[in-house]
Chains A and B, each alone.
Chain A
Amino acid sequence: MNSLSLLRSSSRVLLGSFRNAGAESIIAPQVVSRRHKGYYKSSVEGPAEQYTEVEKSYVEWKFVEKLLPPKLVPETPSDPGVVYPSGWKTPNPEEYSKLPYYIRRTKNGMLPVYYRSFNRGMFQTTRVRYVEGNVWILEKELGQYLKKNFPKQPIITHANEVGRYVQVRGDHEPMIKQWLLDKGF
């Protein structure tokens, strides 16, 4: 019984509490338990003199600024109707201003033509968004253009004036994009 209580009391001492110490003769150093999650989160060890000196510098901050990402999407070039090496083209108001409809670019400078497949690929749609002006004429012209290129394929178009989009069944994204680029959008 005595030995058991001694064991218990000694284990408590290690945890940093001297309560119920069986004998006063037991003198153990108080151990502070610390949990270091990792190298970077561990606290500073030893006196400050051990460490190497630190030099402050403000000159190299320009290299840090180059490594920070831009806060806004960079502006795309604004010269009208220029074709760049990648095939990316700026919109040309001279060409599209004659048409009864207008399609604006997205914030990334791309055409808002989106392909979507759903129900495990059963249904495929291509949607032209952000249409301003006459949606119905765009729907008609787009349908005629696709019918001309795919005479054996049923071209089913759908226009939503409130939603400002024209939708075609099937995967026609690259073709519609090229058609819109040729129209100056």
Chain B
Amino acid sequence: MLEFESDLSTLVAIIIPCIHSYVSTYLEWSCTSKQIQMALRNGTDRALALIRTLPRVSAFNLRPDPASRADGKRPRGQHGGRRHGYPQKGAKQRQTFPRLGFENGAVPFYLRIPKENYYKGHHLRRQYPPLSLHQLQTLIDTQRINPSEPIDLATICNTKIFSFNPGYRHFGFHLTDDGMDTFQAKINIEVQWVTEPVIAAIEKNGGTITTAYYDVESLWAIRDPEHFFQRGIPIMKRMLPPEDAVEYYTDPKFRGYLADPEKIAEERFTLAQKYGYELPDLSSDPQKELLLRRKDPKQVFFGLQPGWILIPKLPLHGMSPKKLGSI
């Protein structure tokens, strides 16, 4: 019996650390010495009391396992310092990876697929972001654009809804035919690219359309006239179109700004015949002056001539009075 008692006491001493985390009621079966039991009870009670005050375990109070994150240090000495994590031989150790696109001797993708030559010179071509007739009609309906004034790039960009970036080789707007059946405005518009049905949709309502070329310098100016005026530099001349654009901008079919006005009048008539509408007479129109107002081919802004400098009465933002005085 004595031996058994002594064995029991050792057994209890071994078991106690194992069941330390159990709830205190489970400990009562062991009937160990009162001291140990009281100490445990106090410990578990304290732990439980602490847990009750702590917040619940959630995604907000968890932190990652420290071993899950590798530190970015280069291993030294006994901590993998021999090859610093790289293999003993081969491309991975010597960093001699095959060239980009190499497929282990197979014919690589960039040779297997034929060339797409229609993309040739894409970084040099002129681009014209689209502006549909529906969008233009909405701008007029919501009083963003005044149809009783000629519409050009400055008018469209001053709405602050549509813009273009000459840095991306955008050379103005392409007026597209989306919404041409519901287009009803009578306007005088100048765009950079247009197709035949759009011309018909505008001229049917008694309006006029011109396609005009702007060089990059004047595009930057007309894109944001306010910013250009703040620079305090003379208004530039608009350059004539480059060689590959001359054909389009001298074509009366596309109402080019360099085309013969008599030929444009003929084309207006033939287009009306083709699309089957009666061409409104411009000469007897009360808005004749508005509809026939055109810029000079070398003029950037309506009413302002190249070579002029604008000096506002008050210094604008970003423009010191001293600099204005020197101009």
Contact = CB atoms under 8 A, between A and B. Distances in A.
Interface of A: 40, 44, 60, 62-64, 66-70, 74-77, 84-88, 108-109
Nearest to A69: B158
Contacts of A76: 142-143
B301 interface: yes
Contact of A63 (B185, B231, B304): B304
Contact of B233 (A40, A62, A74): A40
A84 B143 CA distance: 11
Interface residues of B, number: 30
Contact of A67 (B140, B158, B182, B326): B158
Contact of A87 (B140, B144, B182, B301): B182
B141 A64 contact: no
A160 B144 CA distance: 34
B130 interface: no
A98 B149 CA distance: 41
Contacts of A84: 137, 141
Secondary structure type dominating chain B contacts: loop
Nearest to B305: A60
Contact of B304 (A60, A88, A108): A60
A69 B302 contact: no
Given A86-B137, A87-B182, A68 B142 contact: no
B226 A68 contact: yes
Contacts of B144: 74
B141 to A, nearest CB: 4
Nearest to A89: B141
Interface of B: 134, 137-138, 140-144, 149, 154, 158-160, 179, 182-185, 225-226, 229, 231, 233, 301-304, 308, 310, 326
Nearest to B224: A69
Given A67-B158, A69-B160, A85-B137, A44 B303 contact: no
B326 A64 contact: no
A170 to B, nearest CB: 24
